[in-house]
Amino acid sequence: MDELLTTNADVKILKASINKEPPGLMKELTPAADLTARMEKTRSNTTFNQLVTPDTLSNYQFRRYVEERRQGKSFLTFLESMVAFKHSSETKRKAMAVEILASLKTLAISADGADAGIEQRSLLGNRETTITSDGVSANGGSDVSASGVDAELPGQVDIVTENGNSLESWLMRNYPKAYDPVERAVSMGGCSADMWDTVASVVARYLENTHKMSYFESPEFTTYVQLLEYLDREPTLGDYRTFRTLGKGAFGSVMAVQRKDTAQMYACKCMHKKIVKKNKGLKWVLAEKLVLQMTRSPFVLDLHYAFTSQDEFHLIFKMLSGGDLDYQLNEEKSGCFNPDRARFYAAEVLLGLEHLHSLNVVYRDLKPANILLDKEGHCVISDLGLAIEIDPKRPEKTRRYAGTPGYMAPEILAGKGTYFTSDWWTFGVFLYESVLGVLPESCKCSDEKKEWCPFRRSKHKKHFNLKDWTCKINIEYPSDCGAFDEDLIDFLSQIFVVDPLARLGANGAEELKKHSYFKNTDWEQMSAREVPVPFIPNFDVNAASMGSIKPFDAAKYQDVVVDEKDEKVYKEFTYVNKDLLASELMVALDMIKAAGLEALEARSSMKASFFSRARTSIMRPRSSGVSSELGDENVEAKACCAVM
């Protein structure tokens, strides 16, 4: 019965994820007539740089404006590609430089600067790629005058050449001193990040001079201002449809939800206020939210929204469908990952921890169950409830016992402090478990000899502040399973060191990256998520069965009272990640546009079908009286009119 309930609930989630109805976003926007003051302010504050920076709301609407008028699309596509080029890895830039140069021959323009109808091709990939860039400045890049290029665009640019009307021919004819050096550099394998700056500057000035002011008077700009207004709204529980529970935590549960106005699926972490108050957990709830607000890494879970309802705190995250690594380990017949797969996961987790450490945050709870896979198969660190910000100069001050038994570092167990290297210890345990399928065994330490072992499954509180006890480390690396080679054994041996200041990683994550265990890892490509994943999850709901997730026991907390003083503190909990919301709005607008095109195609198809049959009906000889066939055509005509 539980399996049936779980399956039915999972099917509902999958249907909501795949067969999305067109979002109702446009109905939620503030009428333009109420935004006159904001329109003027936005016109004054919007720079051309913002309009050409990819994956931003301003660029999205500007591109729709350009596409609608079929003018300047080639110029905009080129500028967007420039931003991606400047912020890609060197390896990727080499390939992109050749691609961009070739694309200039196919990015077609007409004699007046309008697109000539040749299919456009973007070099940026899908919208999910995050580009943290300041964009291409209309006046930025290399000094145009110093390159021998006219500082100002001529009033009338002749873009017609005998080679055809392409962006390349436009540049060759009007700005050869800017274009020729780039062409030579690419042919010689050049890929410096600033090699296109002068060319980009020329193209940007042309596009700004011809389109910026008219865009500010367009319907697309009006919608942009309405979307900016929408970004300022505070989220509520009423914005979401709820589906099945995915898991359970210390203070509540995680549920699958769908935002109504954008149709996007999310995971919602719900924490009951009464449970939090009874367990004095408010500081941990607030700490988790604050840490999540700071993080900006593809290897750490992004917080989209945070808000409270009458009974709960809510954290909204992207729903990652690949399940956690504990689930994936259990799915393997061997119970462990092959060496290459384990190394790939370890590298991505290492990058996530490095990002947290750059924010002076120690994670403290690394284990397979807390590492999620996205739909592409990349690792994402989740559940930052125990993460804590430390003073790097005085790590011994943070002595709180926190983590999961079997994974915790000796200094945390002994109450001697929390260091960045405390995470590298748990990282070592995580990697050991990944390749062998089990945690390191207990070291057979003796209480009589006052020895203790960090891998004991039992609680370690009795060892707190016992300075005369000895932490004993004696880890076995089985040779018969083929999981441990010399590099991995040496790597883990330097991590499993009792003294946190002598442990590998004491001088930063670079120490781990440079170890021979990662000798074949390209860290630049790994950071850009350009390394092929070793495993792609199936599209399914990888979560615990509904029967195994116990519901909230309200009777247990009926004596806990949440008063006005509490609610005053809770009001500060609301948060919106506006960058991620902007991306969500762009996806929703794409869906609305696609739905409109599909409806238009359906109407066109019905009209064509009707008129074709109508012509046949007219040509066919008819008997006297009313033809039933003609009656059918009239019915279809009414249906067509209703749809049109």
Tens of pLDDT, residues 50-78 = 888 888 999 999 999 988 887 788 888 88
* CATH of segment(s) 234-320+552-576: 3.30.200.20
Both tokens of 256, joined, read: 């699958």
CA atoms of 474 and 62, how far apart (whole Å): 63
| pLDDT at residue 618 tops 50 | no
Catalytic residue among 55, 115, 365, 423: 365
In 3-state terms the chain splits into helix, strand, coil percentages (rounded to 5) of 50, 10, 40
| pLDDT at residue 544 tops 70 | no
CA atoms of 324 and 370, how far apart (whole Å): 7
What letter does residue 280 receive in the DSSP assignment? Answer: T
CA atoms of 175 and 169, how far apart (whole Å): 10
| pLDDT at residue 365 tops 60 | yes
Contact between residue 236 and residue 250 where contact means Cβ atoms under 8 Å apart? no
pLDDT on residue 608: 54
Range with lowest mean pLDDT among 165-174, 317-326, 486-495 = 165-174
Give the CA angle between residues 283, 287, 289 to the nearest 5°. Answer: 125
Dihedral, CA of residue 619, residue 621, residue 625 and residue 629, to nearest 10: -60
| pLDDT at residue 145 tops 80 | no
The candidate with the shortest Cα–Cα distance to 589, out of 179, 65, 120, is: 65
Most confident of 75-79, 336-340, 391-395: 336-340
The secondary element (H helix, E strand) that includes residue 272 is strand 265-272
CA atoms of 408 and 347, how far apart (whole Å): 20
Instruction: Summarize pLDDT for 565-605 with one digit per residue, the tens.
Output: 888 888 889 999 999 999 999 999 988 888 775 555 555 55
pLDDT on residue 604: 56
Instruction: Summarize pLDDT for 212-246 with one digit per residue, the tens.
Output: 889 999 999 999 999 999 999 999 999 999 887 88
One-character DSSP codes across 143-166 = -TGGGT--SS--SS-----TT-SB
What letter does residue 406 receive in the DSSP assignment? Answer: T
> What phi-psi label fits residue 499: left (phi over 0), alpha (psi between -120 and 50 degrees) or beta?
beta
- Mean pLDDT computed over every residue of the chain: 78
Helix axis angle for 219-231 and 36-45, nearest 10°, is 100
CA atoms of 531 and 518, how far apart (whole Å): 14
365 tagged catalytic: yes
CA atoms of 566 and 573, how far apart (whole Å): 12
CA atoms of 199 and 170, how far apart (whole Å): 11
More confident residue, 118 or 44: 44
More confident residue, 349 or 169: 349
pLDDT on residue 300: 96
**SS3 assignment, position 379:** strand
The pairing of strands 240-248 and 371-373 is unpaired
More confident residue, 460 or 209: 209
pLDDT on residue 635: 32
CA atoms of 157 and 171, how far apart (whole Å): 11
pTM: 0.75
Both tokens of 85, joined, read: 């080029």
CATH fold of 325-540: Transferase(Phosphotransferase); domain 1 (1.10.510)
pLDDT on residue 491: 96
Radius of gyration of the chain (CA): 30
Range with lowest mean pLDDT among 19-23, 567-571, 626-630 = 626-630
With a pLDDT cut of 70, the percent of the chain lying above it is: 74
The secondary element (H helix, E strand) that includes residue 286 is helix 282-294
Alpha helices in 19-89 (DSSP H): 25-28, 36-45, 48-51, 57-69, 73-86
The pairing of strands 470-471 and 451-452 is parallel
| pLDDT at residue 622 tops 70 | no
The candidate with the shortest Cα–Cα distance to 436, out of 503, 472, 385, 485, is: 485
CA atoms of 148 and 160, how far apart (whole Å): 22
Dihedral, CA of residue 425, residue 431, residue 437 and residue 441, to nearest 10: -30
* CB atoms closer than 10 angstroms to residue 296: 13
CA atoms of 266 and 433, how far apart (whole Å): 29
Contact between residue 541 and residue 385 where contact means Cβ atoms under 8 Å apart? no
Read off φ and ψ for residue 166, nearest 5 degrees.
-120, 165
